Amino acid sequence: MSNMDQVLRKAVAAEDLPFAVAMAANRGGVTYSGAAGETAGRNAGEDTVFRIFSMTKAVGSLAAMILIERGKISMDTPVADVLPAWNDLKVLDGWNGEAPILRSSNTVATVRHLATHTSGLEYEFWNADVSKYLELTGKPSMLTGTLASLMSYPLTTDPGTRWGYGTGIDWLGRMVEEIDGRRIDAFCREEIFEPLGMSSTSFEPDSLTDRLCDVSIRGEDGHFAPFELAPPRQPEFYGMGHALYSTAPDYLRFLRMVLGRGELEGARILSEDAMGVMCSDQMNGLAFRKMVTVVPALTADFDPFPGARVGHAFAFMRNGVDIPGRRSAGSLSWAGVCNTHYWIDPLRDVCAVIMTQSLPFVERRLMKVYAAYEEAVYAAL
């Protein structure tokens, strides 16, 4: 325990992170909880509320998996069968000067493609062509929270042909709404958060504001400065790629449910078989591709385990080999853009989070802290 505490304290003292909250657990319960630093005038701790951004994606994928288990859809259901507007999306196939060259897709996008980031949709932060397209067309970003923003992003490849990190889970959440009839916030609250006891997880920060931490960005002088970044308030639709606020203990309950193969403390969210499918590789032979930044102030490049095969399950990134001193093959992970990170190692029965609110995402200094914390977690097993 002292080793994990020391990692956090040293990181904050060195300004590798502005502050940190970290926790670890197994199927039976919490095995470590620690924090270092201050945020919003308070000591960081278990009650600190974070904008978890893309950690929302696993929740959105679970929502879809619940409907799959109930027979409402399948992984191979075409997106356009539920959301016909999908067929209006075109593939960006190059440029004629400043004019985009667009064509129809040669393949059919499915639920599986949305969940595994192989649908052809990519964020503007990691694809220069998409950034250029949005700038030239004036189309709204997904972070505007408008329904129109779903149609802003062209496809960059034919669905099912390449990994590309983007807005697929936002479409997946809309499919859940269309099929189930409930708005996605009500679905998640009733089907996931309330059964799991995630009482500090919400799509709006209203009841959490007094515990909400600050976001910082590293300036050219190397020091952190305040920065405003948050999911849109009261949007036209809640994007399941980014919309949630949560705490370390709450998200750890979600991770423990995954470790428990769909069950936590008597609350069963998915059957063991369905959870097994959700956590297995669903890439159909494709693999994760290094994410190369277009906006270095916001995010660094991301290649978590260079040289190792990394795939994607239905809800998580999935490493294909053991990482020495760290997670096992078949471990699951992802993160939020303000540097909230988690992993789940079913083989070793461990899950953990390390969370702050800083930019750039996955900068080298932060990732060294992440690795040191993970190594300390495994050394304590």
The per-residue pLDDT for range 355-368, each reduced to its tens digit, is 999 999 999 999 99
Predicted confidence band at 2 (pLDDT cuts at 50, 70, 90)?
confident
Instruction: Give, in order, the Cα–Cα distances in Å from 101 to each of 52, 105, 115, 228.
Output: 35, 13, 27, 35
> What is the phi/psi pair of residue 246, to 5°?
-160, 175
Nearest to 314 by CA among 66, 106, 121: 66
Q: Residue 214: pLDDT above 90?
A: yes
Average pLDDT over residues 261-280: 98
Contact 19, 39 (CB under 8 A): yes
Predicted confidence band at 318 (pLDDT cuts at 50, 70, 90)?
very high
What tokens were used for 153? Answer: 């992003």
Whole-model pTM above 0.75?
A: yes
- Mean pLDDT of all residues belonging to the chain: 97
Predicted confidence band at 1 (pLDDT cuts at 50, 70, 90)?
low
Average pLDDT over residues 252-275: 98
Q: How do 50-51 and 20-26 pair as beta strands? A: unpaired
Three-state secondary structure readout of the chain: CHHHHHHHHHHHHCCCCCCEEEEEEECCEEEEEEEECEECCEECCCCCEEECHHHHHHHHHHHHHHHHHCCCCCCCCEHHHHCHHHHHCCEEEEEECCEEEEECCCCCCEHHHHHHCCCCECCCCCCHHHHHHHHHHCCCCHHHCCHHHHHCCCECCCCCCCCCCCCHHHHHHHHHHHHHCCCHHHHHHHHHHHHHCCCCCECCCHHHHHHECCCEEECCCCCEEECCCCCCCCCCCCCCCCCCEECHHHHHHHHHHHHCCCEECCEECCCHHHHHHHCCCCCCCCCCCCECCCCCCCECCECCCCCCCEEECCCCEEECCCCCCCCCCCCEEEEECCCEEEEEECCCCEEEEEECCEECECCHHHHHHHHHHHHHHHHCC
Average pLDDT over residues 119-125: 98
Rounded to 5°, the CA angle 58-152-234 comes to 60
Q: Residue 174: pLDDT above 80?
A: yes
Residues with catalytic annotation? 54, 57, 165
Q: How do 245-246 and 350-355 pair as beta strands? A: unpaired
Handedness of CA 238, 242, 245, 251 (dihedral sign): positive
If you search the block for the tokens 């802003």, which residue do you land on?
A: 152
